[in-house]
Structure 1
Amino acid sequence: MTAIAERITGSKEQTRQTFVVVLGVYFLLQILIRLLQGGAVEMDEAEQIFYAQHFQLGYENQPPLYTWLQALVFHAVGVSHLGLAIAKNIFMFVLYYSLYRTARMLLGTLGAAVVSSSLIMIVTLGWEAQIDRTHSILATAVGGASLWTYYTLLEHPSKRRRALLGVLFGLGMLSKYNFLLFVIGLAGASLLVREHRRIVWTRDVWITPAVGLLLVLPHAWWFFQQIHVATAETLRKMHEGGAPTTYGKNVLLGLRHFFMSLLSFGTPLWVPLAFAWRGRRPGTPRWEATDVRFFFWLYAAGLGTVAALVLTGELIHIQSRWLQPLLFSVPLGFFVFFPPASDRVYRRMLVTLGLFAVVLVSALAFRPQLQAGLGRHPRIQQPYDQLAREIAHRFPDVDVFAVQDRFVGGNIRLQFPGKPVVLLADACAQQGRILLLSGDGFDDRPRVPLPACPNFTVAGSGQLAEQSVLHPRETTVFDYAWVLAAPPSR
């Protein structure tokens, strides 16, 4: 390896232990903030609460691993904000710690602490991940563990490590499909860097893809059984931001979105880098180093795949978080390419990142109030707890809830964790006492008609309405029908 010599003062082991403890405290604090906020949940997490009712090989347009793991956490601690926060922050800790361990091999302990801490400056990982991300977080955490495993394989080649890398590749593909960008990038870089190729691409290289494919096969069978359902939402997102027109316009629009996604992914990370690198002689670029070439080809192969998709004219819209499983290691790649001339740079970075972490935690803690002050209606302040009390009072013996969409379904199940929640489209197949709810909670959004099934006996209907906590002028509204459903006739 081309690791930079340790340049820190004091005990390296003490520095490592301190950083791991601080990292753990940071994510425990995130869990505490989430518990104190309570309230409703955002879209991605609501979907996980809804999907976690059943074990499936896939869920609509997403692979199943996050939902499986979330369901296990719910089984242990209950369907709750605590269960959501524990799962998410475990995955975040795995990502930060894995990148730290990888960076220690290349930069030393102090540099590794800076690289790992720098992830909070990436918006999708520092801010959005704590608000409402799920699959992308897990895929990126698996990417971090994969990169760590890859570098340990380079230092200590073995069949066991090759198999472990295959397991991680399989888990990554079961987390989110765009994890494939990371796999392509890693495979390309290991081929194009001669020093890595001699270690990785031996006669045992088949072990990694074989193990990965074995893990993915059951989900792949599910995927191809209903490929139209599994790809419809993804294709829709690929065309957001502009209706498909001519091939040339599609490509230009896709390239613009691609460039903006790359720019936004690195912002505001460049701020602490600029602060740390002020001075006459901050450091010297290392153009020919093995690790520099590895990270260059890692990003080039992955991003080249995205560019190729853009050139087909089918990929018009690109969100920065889609690149997250590939680009999470950018802070490490930067420091490998441009190592500082002294530890002063690292220490400046740590001070800057520490101050930013305080600001970030404070902003997350007061997010509902900040959003309300900006005139936005935060979903987490929709009064589902008040709605639940009203439902429990008026309909104490509900057997099944039938709702308009998964956002409502997740929030209803969060309030009534012991009750099944289905979509309105599936209501006719239910039996017993069913409360049908139409609407997404916002009073100015259209509501779909409530189903009239042959086996339904309507006992009552009307509206349920509760005022928003932070927006008294806004009301959470649902049309409802209270029905008794006989077993569906065959």
Structure 2
Amino acid sequence: MGLKHIFSSRINILALLSFFAITGIPFFKSAMELEDAEQAYYSQWLRWGYDDQPPLYTWLQFGVNRIFGVSKFSFSLLRGLIFSSILIALHRLAKHTLSNSAKAELSVLCFALVPVFMDFTFRRLSHTSLLCLLIVSSFLIIQRLTVKKSILNYSVLGLLIGLGMLSKYNYVLFLGALMLSVLFDRNLRQLIVHRYFVVTMLLAALLVAPHFYWLLGPEGYLEILKESVVLKVESSNPNTIPVVTPLFSYTMTMIKLIGILGVGLLVAFLFKKLKFITFKKNWFSKFFWAQLVVLALFFIVLNIQKVEPRWLLPLFLPFSIVLMRTIDFKSIEKWSRFGFVLFLIVIFGQTVRTPIEKVLDIPSSVHFGFEPVSDKLNSNYPEKEWILPNVTYGGNVRILNPQKEIFALDDFSLPKFKSTTKNSVKLVFKKEDLKNDILIDSLKGFGKEMEDLYFIVD
């Protein structure tokens, strides 16, 4: 009965195939993707935060590592579970919101034409993937609350809000859109003013309080977060115009996010395979417009000059459902079958991409293993403490030495009691970084970037 239920839905099949594909991809790679390497490093310890990111994903990875060990499989397993859960949760939300089952499927299948989802989320993202799942889950519980305002549902909402804030700080933009939507929708307003909503707020506050106490503490982690955000969103172009530049950046990012999907729908419209229709607005569609407005204000007020499409993906992923409400398809079942086949093709392409790149000698950092660094450290400095130049190096070396505690020079949130240079060997990229340290070894022309590594001691 269980297997019959799984294979009765195209989305369930895709979720299962995606899981197996994601968990298998790392075995074609000599090195880990950037975010997997970061997780391999940070998941050595449980902390209240990790440099400029909240702790939830790393906590989950820590637990997975305890069960399955520190291996490439452990890191792909968690990402595979999250990606598959996103597909299932989004489909469930679509079924609750749309009356047409084929449209509910297309709400998920259309993401085969969203590269940032099928590339970054499928192959490499960590915190952003988890945020996608938690935002879709938040919409699911809000949908349930519009039907039944029970203390259990309000408790689940509080739990999801807390976990959302602990997954990625972008979740606050979702909460901002929720608060704005309350002003324009009666159902959401009744949800917020209900006496049980205090349970939601208390649970959320209890969950996030320790992390924000850590973030706002005297160690200066908040300043590190601010510096990281500024570095990511500032433009090198001096000719920026307040309001205009942020809105232009916002618009261009949205085009990058859904551009291919938009072109596909436009072509189908021109060939009269679909038509756009009007529909009665509900709380979900009002939430969509509120999210657009909140993000526009956020860009303008903070003068955001550049942003990556993947940062906006979690906030707009659920609104594929709103898109489906605006379209009337000709032969919708055929569209659903086509979307299913297309999704399968993209999954297959992502799975074979790494070995094909290797065969065709296409440069990629994942084809350069860290064995030369690990071998030199093990051969010459096995008893010393290893301090790598950054967490990417640290994570990749840790995969090869899972029993060894590894440190990184750019790990700003490393607790002070862990920070030591006694009996240690440090690796740096530039001779200028040597200062008064003693150069004891080197490794020239390592990796895709042909970096020179210098081994030093105090």
TM-score class normalised by the smaller sequence:
0.7 to 0.9
1:247-258 aligned within 5 A = 249-258=241-250
Query: Distance between the aligned counterparts of 1:262 and 1:447, measured in 2?
Result: 42
Query: Distance between the aligned counterparts of 2:442 and 2:6, measured in 1?
Result: 61
Q: Given the alignment of the two structures, is residue 462 of structure 1 paired with residue 441 of structure 2, yes or no?
A: yes
In the other structure, the counterpart of 2:353 is 366
In the other structure, the counterpart of 2:58 is 67
1:281-300 aligned within 5 A = 282-283=274-275, 285-290=277-282, 294-300=283-289
> Following TM superposition, by how much is the alpha carbon of 1:313 offset from its aligned partner in structure 2, in angstroms?
5.4
1:331-346 aligned within 5 A = 331-338=320-327, 340=328, 344-346=331-333
Pair 347,125 (structure 1): closer, same or farther in 2 beyond 3 Å = same
* Corresponding residue to 1:416 among 401, 408, 412: 401
Query: Distance between the aligned counterparts of 2:25 and 2:176, measured in 1?
Result: 37
> Following TM superposition, by how much is the alpha carbon of 1:170 offset from its aligned partner in structure 2, in angstroms?
0.9
Query: Distance between the aligned counterparts of 2:264 and 2:57, measured in 1?
Result: 32
Q: Deviations over 1:94-121 (max 9, x none)?
A: 2111111011112243322221222332
* Corresponding residue to 2:305 among 312, 316, 341: 316
Q: Which amino acid aligns with 2:50?
A: Y
Contact in 2 for aligned 1:464/1:479 (Cα 8 Å) = yes
Query: Distance between the aligned counterparts of 1:447 and 1:303, measured in 2?
Result: 48
TM-score, length-scaled by structure 1: 0.82
* Corresponding residue to 1:159 among 124, 128, 151: 151
**3-state SS, counterpart of residue 437 of structure 1:** strand
In the other structure, the counterpart of 2:427 is 437
* Corresponding residue to 2:43 among 39, 44, 52: 52
In the other structure, the counterpart of 2:454 is 479
Q: Which amino acid aligns with 2:455?
A: Y
In the other structure, the counterpart of 2:117 is 125
**3-state SS, counterpart of residue 234 of structure 1:** helix
Pair 204,95 (structure 1): closer, same or farther in 2 beyond 3 Å = same
Q: Given the alignment of the two structures, is residue 382 of structure 1 paired with residue 382 of structure 2, yes or no?
A: no
Which moved further from structure 2: 305-314 or 68-77?
Answer: 305-314
> Following TM superposition, by how much is the alpha carbon of 1:124 offset from its aligned partner in structure 2, in angstroms?
2.1
In the other structure, the counterpart of 2:341 is 354
Contact in 2 for aligned 1:276/1:349 (Cα 8 Å) = no
**3-state SS, counterpart of residue 329 of structure 1:** helix
Contact in 2 for aligned 1:261/1:320 (Cα 8 Å) = yes
**3-state SS, counterpart of residue 249 of structure 1:** coil
Contact in 2 for aligned 1:129/1:137 (Cα 8 Å) = yes
- Give the unaligned 5+ runs of structure 1: 1-11, 440-445, 486-490
Pair 19,67 (structure 1): closer, same or farther in 2 beyond 3 Å = same
Q: Which amino acid aligns with 2:426?
A: L
In the other structure, the counterpart of 1:96 is 87
1:224-303 aligned within 5 A = 224-225=216-217, 226=220, 227-243=222-238, 249-274=241-266, 277=269, 280=272, 282-283=274-275, 285-290=277-282, 294-303=283-292
In the other structure, the counterpart of 1:326 is 315
Query: Distance between the aligned counterparts of 1:28 and 1:190, measured in 2?
Result: 41
**3-state SS, counterpart of residue 383 of structure 1:** coil
Query: Distance between the aligned counterparts of 2:201 and 2:112, measured in 1?
Result: 32
> Following TM superposition, by how much is the alpha carbon of 1:396 offset from its aligned partner in structure 2, in angstroms?
6.2
Query: Distance between the aligned counterparts of 1:298 and 1:448, measured in 2?
Result: 53
1:192-207 aligned within 5 A = 192-207=184-199
Query: Distance between the aligned counterparts of 2:7 and 2:189, measured in 1?
Result: 34
Q: Which amino acid aligns with 1:314?
A: N
Pair 374,317 (structure 1): closer, same or farther in 2 beyond 3 Å = farther
- Give the unaligned 5+ runs of structure 2: 411-415
Query: Distance between the aligned counterparts of 1:54 and 1:86, measured in 2?
Result: 19
Q: Given the alignment of the two structures, is residue 41 of structure 1 paired with residue 25 of structure 2, yes or no?
A: no
Which moved further from structure 2: 137-146 or 300-309?
Answer: 300-309
Aligned Cα root-mean-square deviation (Å) = 3.0
Q: Deviations over 1:208-246 (max 9, x none)?
A: 222212211111111111321222101221213434x6x
Contact in 2 for aligned 1:166/1:210 (Cα 8 Å) = yes
Contact in 2 for aligned 1:368/1:378 (Cα 8 Å) = no
Contact in 2 for aligned 1:123/1:267 (Cα 8 Å) = no
In the other structure, the counterpart of 1:402 is 387
In the other structure, the counterpart of 1:6 is none
Query: Distance between the aligned counterparts of 2:455 and 2:74, measured in 1?
Result: 29
**3-state SS, counterpart of residue 292 of structure 2:** helix
In the other structure, the counterpart of 1:488 is none
Pair 20,369 (structure 1): closer, same or farther in 2 beyond 3 Å = closer
Which moved further from structure 2: 77-86 or 186-195?
Answer: 186-195
> Following TM superposition, by how much is the alpha carbon of 1:15 offset from its aligned partner in structure 2, in angstroms?
6.8
Query: Distance between the aligned counterparts of 1:275 and 1:40, measured in 2?
Result: 40
Pair 461,14 (structure 1): closer, same or farther in 2 beyond 3 Å = closer
Q: Which amino acid aligns with 1:232?
A: E
**3-state SS, counterpart of residue 53 of structure 1:** coil
Q: Deviations over 1:184-209 (max 9, x none)?
A: 22333344222443455323233222
* Residue correspondences, number: 445
Pick the structure with greater CA Rg. 1
Q: Given the alignment of the two structures, is residue 176 of structure 1 paired with residue 168 of structure 2, yes or no?
A: yes
Contact in 1 for aligned 2:11/2:87 (Cα 8 Å) = no
TM-score, length-scaled by structure 2: 0.87
Query: Distance between the aligned counterparts of 1:371 and 1:154, measured in 2?
Result: 51
**3-state SS, counterpart of residue 30 of structure 2:** coil
Pair 280,316 (structure 1): closer, same or farther in 2 beyond 3 Å = closer
Query: Distance between the aligned counterparts of 2:421 and 2:29, measured in 1?
Result: 31
Query: Distance between the aligned counterparts of 2:260 and 2:320, measured in 1?
Result: 12
Contact in 2 for aligned 1:48/1:67 (Cα 8 Å) = yes
Q: Deviations over 1:235-273 (max 9, x none)?
A: 221213434x6xx72432222211101111112222553
Query: Distance between the aligned counterparts of 1:212 and 1:448, measured in 2?
Result: 47
**3-state SS, counterpart of residue 174 of structure 1:** helix
Pair 241,170 (structure 1): closer, same or farther in 2 beyond 3 Å = farther
